[in-house]
A and B are shown apart, each in its own frame.
Chain A
Amino acid sequence: MHRVLLLAVLCSAACSTYEERIEDIHHAYYNGTPEQAVLLLEESVDDSFFDVDEDFAVLRMELSSALMAAGRHEEAGRLLAELYDELEVLDYSTDTVEDIMAFALASELQDYHASPPEKLLVNTRGMMAFLAADDLDGATVEAKRAGTTLTQADLDDQDRYDNLFVSALAGFCMDQAGRRQEADDFWNELDQNPLQPPPPGQADPEHGTILVLVELGKAPIRRELAVAIWADGVRHELRVPVLQDRDDVFTVASVVLDDVPQGRVPVALDLGAQLERRYDQELPGLLAAAATQAVARGVVSEVVSNSVSDKGDASDDIFAMAAAALTSWTLAEAQQADTRCWNLLPQSFGAMRLDVPAGQHRVSVELSGAKGHSLRFELDVRPGGTHTVYVASDVYGGFAGHKPLSEEDLTGHPAAIRALQILSSASLVNEIVD
């Protein structure tokens, strides 16, 4: 009976990767049906909630993106606000080896842990969602939170530089809410402010503001890859998450206001470049975590193997050997790389501010790149009012599946040094087990 249960547990431990689990959602979202993606995600989130699933947080991050793309901005904003409160942060780039090993070797499946910039992105998108929902109070709350995150989170100088868009947007929210001092606190650290208001004295009280926010392309995502590291003539294979670029269909967005071209929407945040830089910083930690799991797997397989050979009961041998083989296979599967990350994100964010006289205006956002697409908006601008035009261009780009990956050899890579040290300790551990 115990063995049957053991087999069941082992079989259930082997599971699909995150990209496989959300493949249907990718298809729905990128093929122009974000509402369908919302339905699929809501179903997954509900299942995840009742199963206390480890994907719960990251699925809700995906859901917020789908809600935004589907025009359900208020719901997206509320969801992002909840996520800010709940998200746990793990920083592979700065946490100690002990922290990472403890995380990698935890006996239970781990809840999704975001990186510090990812948590800041929750704020950024929260501001965008509340602005698009015409909820300035909600946007200012997110702006204040962004200020806290910028000062308290473990962000290095480069992270802060990468996230100047956050300060620009937070200042914009505060300025629109009449909290000019707080707006200046955000804007003072910017060399260039894409959302700068007209100079004092030149602002016309009969004018309103149109904020155009455009998401372009698809952010790189994490996928599982077997990497090889050779040491002392022995080949070690580790499964780690690698960052894979995705095809960007739309790379440029231009704005036309009342049939008058306003030029390209400037890129305010190159999220793809930021994610790649963070990944390079995290790679040593990710390899160390994978090596830790590989060592643990080796020890357990050794113990099972010894246990089988000690039995000496012929009637149990076939079952015991099958269990041992299954153990080895299942532990290998269970050592899957953690490829969870916020997938439904753009490669970059663009922002443009237009100060216009109150009244009716036509705004069109022209997307270009491998394809062309145009979106038109009719706005009734009120004096002193803020109107946000939000475009998630990647929704119209299409999706045909992920590109295949091939194995990489990281022997000699500086990021592999820590992993090699952990792997070399495996032989010592095996001697103790024997």
Chain B
Amino acid sequence: MLRHALLAVFLILFMACSGPTVQRGTDDPDIDQTAMSTRLDRADLEHAMDKWLTTFDASGFVHNLPSGNRTISVLEIKNETSEHIGSALRTLITSVETKLVNGGVFDVVANDDVLKSAIVQERLRGDMVDPDTMAALGKELGVNYFVHGRVGDTTEKLQDARRVQYTLFLKVTEVATRRTVFQEQIDITKQISS
């Protein structure tokens, strides 16, 4: 009887003491690979970056880039999805900037400086990447090319599963001609089910 009582006490103490488990990515890299939600995580952003860089670096635009006039800036990636991925897209903008800076091919004007521009500050409503705005920004900041894009989604739900298919379009617009000189489509699918 006493043995049973002690066992019960130990069991209760064990249950009371077992708290949440915290893990570190450097100790267990697998935790970075597990998808936790239908939003975009680091693995998705790395996939998007890899896909974009591979085609961008190999593109005719980069290979035939004229000397001089190589100033570029990442303007905006519009979130047109039904997911709160704004912070992930801001991270993606910074990642693209980092790659462009480290690539050494372009002179990069930081996105932060673009957003501080009086032209952007005055245009609180509407499309920041319409041709007139880009032309005005290019003139003010001395930018020859703008990287910009949008991400849309198709969301479907069936019984206990919900799937979000993201389509990310990233393009480069030449300010002087307003032509799209490079464009890439990146597809990412996330699904959550119970």
Contacts and interface: CB of A to CB of B under 8 A. Distances in A.
Task: Tell me, yes or no, whether A binds B.
Answer: yes
Interface of A: 1, 5, 50, 78, 81, 85, 137-138, 140-141, 144-145, 148, 152, 176-179, 382-386
A81 B122 CA distance: 29
- Binding site of A, secondary structure by majority: helix, strand, loop or mixed? helix
A145 B82 contact: yes
B4 interface: yes
B30 interface: no
A148 B20 CA distance: 35
Given A1-B1, A1-B4, A5-B8, A144 B81 contact: yes
A1 to B, nearest CB: 5
- Binding site of B, secondary structure by majority: helix, strand, loop or mixed? loop
Contacts of B1: 1
A230 B155 CA distance: 49
Contacts of B8: 1, 5
Contact of A383 (B38, B124, B155): B124
Given A1-B8, A138-B86, 17 more contacts: A1-B1, A1-B4, A1-B5, A50-B19, A141-B79, A141-B82, A141-B83, A176-B125, A178-B125, A178-B126, A179-B80, A383-B122, A384-B122, A384-B125, A384-B126, A385-B124, A385-B125
30 contacts: A1-B1, A1-B8, A5-B8, A50-B19, A50-B20, A85-B37, A137-B86, A138-B84, A138-B86, A140-B80, A141-B81, A141-B82, A141-B84, A144-B80, A144-B81, A145-B82, A148-B82, A152-B157, A176-B125, A178-B125, A179-B80, A382-B124, A383-B122, A383-B124, A384-B122, A384-B123, A384-B125, A384-B126, A385-B124, A386-B125
Interface of B: 1, 4-5, 8, 19-20, 37-38, 79-84, 86, 122-127, 155, 157, 192
Contacts of A138: 84, 86
A145 B80 CA distance: 11
A1 B1 CA distance: 8
A179 B86 CA distance: 17
A273 B84 CA distance: 32
Top 5 A-B residue pairs of the complex, sorted by shortest distance between their CB atoms: A384-B125, A178-B126, A144-B82, A384-B124, A385-B124
A178 B86 CA distance: 17
Contacts of A383: 122, 124
Contacts of A85: 37-38, 192
A385 B5 CA distance: 68
Contacts of A78: 84
A57 B3 CA distance: 40
Nearest to A85: B37
A107 to B, nearest CB: 18
A148 B155 contact: yes
Nearest to B5: A1
A212 B126 CA distance: 21
Most buried by B among A50, A85, A176, A382: A85
Most buried by A among B4, B20, B122, B126: B126
Contacts of B19: 50
A361 to B, nearest CB: 16
Most buried by B among A1, A50, A386: A1
A217 B174 CA distance: 55
Nearest to B128: A178
Nearest to A149: B82
